[in-house]
Structure 1
């Protein structure tokens, strides 16, 4: 907030004065027990609400974070990171997802194949323009963002696919590795993460969680391996008459044990191994399956899910804390810049009045029309006189004390009404018992 600043600069007169008033309110204390608590809370609410309002208005203030090196740099930054362009690229990504889905239809591909190729070239051109704009706006910071690196990787894969299809068009278009590059286009759907901050926080939390649960995942694989070896030596010799015995090799046994851990159709897998003519062969497969499901599914799988959820919650809180610190840093930079702007504009106003008998009050009257009309004090009554500020702070204290006294009266009135209600209730109960 600054002297004579316009609405576009995001500030107005009175930041230092309001901070001073908030500090004065915070230091106010009353002699009574409850009065010593309430004014402090009111002062905290006053200052915190004002700071929160300023931080919300400064969230998207890129001028605080970036230093532009000329009009062209500023224009590139505005074009690359402005809201309309971001929404346009997001809409392009969504349309690209729809187009890729339609290309899976053989009938549509045969009929509209050239149009699909043209749309793919248009999408690729838009992604390229976005990449060039961001590189021009932030040539170094672009490569420090993991989501930007992912977008660049997708763009690079798209160009590789485009080049290979042009070189090997025709009979070689269905070669396996060319189809793999076409399948890689599905990763373009993940570009939507770059435009949604909440999804970015979630992805970061998931990646952070993956590194935290590697030990537990390794333990699950070890348990899977142990039961796979045991199942191979126990059930490999059982002849079921068909290929329903999945323990004939270590690889198939490993996959079957993993199905047991997930509790997916384990009873169907174990039924062919049961022999109703032999009690041990009847109960051994069931006991083996129950043991795997209990250890792998009920213990390890749920433990894995619990660790993932806990780490996900911690990573989310950490991301929110980092975001809060970034906002605080931007707020501090903005506050310092506005203070310097205050001093500079005041010097300019005072330099105009040099050589003339002009007071500070006269200078303020000249800038009244440039101030915002959202102040706690009427603009026409502004003054730089110390006595005026002292009276203003005193009036705030009196107003706060009066508000507190009104609240106390309301509390006392509520207590009296409660006592009267209890007395009437007691009288009604007494009359009711006397009637019997």
Structure 2
């Protein structure tokens, strides 16, 4: 399950019009919530730790029955988790690779229940250990871990070329050592396969000096072959792996910085457009207020003129009445 699924599910369920989808939407929000996901991850981690502890024979002999009950409880929790996800997501559940993986592991765990006397079904107990791999979901949550994994995956094409060069060097060296040292040291160089294994041991630096000393009796010049071999494989080719991974990690960091910068620029542009829109609205409001004040002043002037005219008429009427008297 990807981190975006809870939001997608919420968006899908929010627009549901059917009343019968209300319980399904509530279940979906629950199983895709952060708290529920963290609780399932905690169960997975605890189960993984106990699986490792249970490999101790003394611990298994003492707490085997309790561990079997705990395993049954964990399986029940996983079954409830998968059932709620199937109820909430329906067929969309199988569109996600993690969901399919979880379903297969839980299905294998269910098959192991009550299979004590069935030797064939005991094979499925091994599949439960694979569920420990769900801890790798932390890669999708922690950005730094995800960045490292993406950098490693991006480095695979470059690493494949280095591996091809390394295999070619090993093959040529294996043929040479088998022809030169195979008769005197058949256990180390008696065949291509044995030479491959011995050369790999030499490349790792594990007892390569002892191997050379074994050949000193008949081949005192053997070091002339092994020293360049170690220099090329251990110090040159293997360091290329590190260089490719570091370069990929740097590119991933640059890409992350560029993405963050693009997001920041987009946010600044959005803020600027919003401010410009608000400033335009304020300017329009100010203009409306000024226009209203002009109209009010004009109306006030007209009213004052009307009042002045009424006063003049009233004064004339009073003057006329005074003359009549």
TM range (shorter): 0.5 to 0.7
The answer as to whether partners of 1:260 and 1:297 remain within 8 angstroms in 2 is: no
Residues 219-241 of structure 1: CA deviation (Å, up to 9, x unaligned)? 222221221111111111115xx
- What does residue 192 of structure 2 align with? 250
Alignment of 1:178-217 (within 5 A): 178=122, 181-196=124-139, 197-198=141-142, 199-217=145-163
Shift of 1:155: 2.9
Shift of 1:144: 4.3
Structure index of larger Rg: 2
Please state if 1:268 is matched with 2:219: no
- What does residue 246 of structure 2 align with? 309
Relative to structure 1, is the Cα distance of residues 318 and 128 closer, same or farther in structure 2, using a 3 angstrom cutoff? farther
Alignment of 1:30-179 (within 5 A): 62=7, 66-68=11-13, 69=16, 70-139=21-90, 142-160=93-111, 162=112, 166=115, 169-170=116-117, 173=119, 178=122
**Partner Cα separation in structure 2 for residue 128 and residue 60 of structure 1:** 20
**Partner Cα separation in structure 2 for residue 328 and residue 88 of structure 1:** 37
The answer as to whether partners of 1:147 and 1:194 remain within 8 angstroms in 2 is: no
Please state if 1:289 is matched with 2:240: no
3-state SS in 1 of match to 2:174: helix
Residues 234-268 of structure 1: CA deviation (Å, up to 9, x unaligned)? 111115xxx8x411122121111122233333223
Shift of 1:212: 4.5
Deviates more, 1:230-239 or 1:70-79: 70-79
Higher helix share: 2
Residues 300-340 of structure 1: CA deviation (Å, up to 9, x unaligned)? 111122112323444566578789999999x9xxx9xxx9x
RMSD over aligned CA atoms reads 4.0
Relative to structure 1, is the Cα distance of residues 149 and 61 closer, same or farther in structure 2, using a 3 angstrom cutoff? closer
Please state if 1:218 is matched with 2:169: no
3-state SS in 2 of match to 1:264: coil
- What does residue 300 of structure 2 align with? none
**Partner Cα separation in structure 1 for residue 59 and residue 242 of structure 2:** 42
Name stretches of at least 5 consecutive residues in structure 1 with no aligned partner: 1-58, 340-382, 392-436
3-state SS in 2 of match to 1:283: coil
Relative to structure 1, is the Cα distance of residues 98 and 263 closer, same or farther in structure 2, using a 3 angstrom cutoff? same
Q: Which has the higher contact order (CA 8 A, sep 6+)?
A: 1
Name stretches of at least 5 consecutive residues in structure 2 with no aligned partner: 275-281, 291-325
3-state SS in 2 of match to 1:135: helix
Residues 95-127 of structure 1: CA deviation (Å, up to 9, x unaligned)? 101210121111221222222122112112222
- What does residue 312 of structure 2 align with? none
Relative to structure 1, is the Cα distance of residues 147 and 219 closer, same or farther in structure 2, using a 3 angstrom cutoff? farther
- What does residue 227 of structure 1 align with? 173
**Partner Cα separation in structure 1 for residue 213 and residue 247 of structure 2:** 38
**Partner Cα separation in structure 2 for residue 74 and residue 324 of structure 1:** 37
